[in-house]
A = this chain, B = another copy of it.
């Protein structure tokens, strides 16, 4: 249902998440950080705020099987590289051709809104650890 009132807690969560650009934090990490500014904030409030911010379009959730939901506060249309070994998400910038119009023409009954492109592989750090 989005955010209707800007409380101290929400201001703090927003600030933490926006300063974490490139880190893609999950709820637990945000909770830990926000507690430095608002020591008695509850984990439930963090979850509720992250959900509300997502609904309002400030955040995009990233999910990997079996892992906690991470949030991306950088909605400038960048892409992600994800490491198959450590699960980390890396932001990248790359030009994309028009992927939408072909599919839109072929599947007109589906109301196409966007497309997510996610690159997968092994990051430098994990590559160096084991072959």
Contact = CB atoms under 8 A, between A and B. Distances in A.
A34 B114 CA distance: 36
A35 to B, nearest CB: 23
Interface string A58-92: 00011111100100000000010100100000101
Interface residues of A, number: 39
Interface in A33-53: none
A105 to B, nearest CB: 10
A85 B47 CA distance: 20
A96 B94 contact: no
A130 interface: no
B117 A121 contact: no
Interface in A88-131: 90, 92, 94-97, 99-100, 102-103, 106-107, 109-124, 127
A96 B96 CA distance: 11
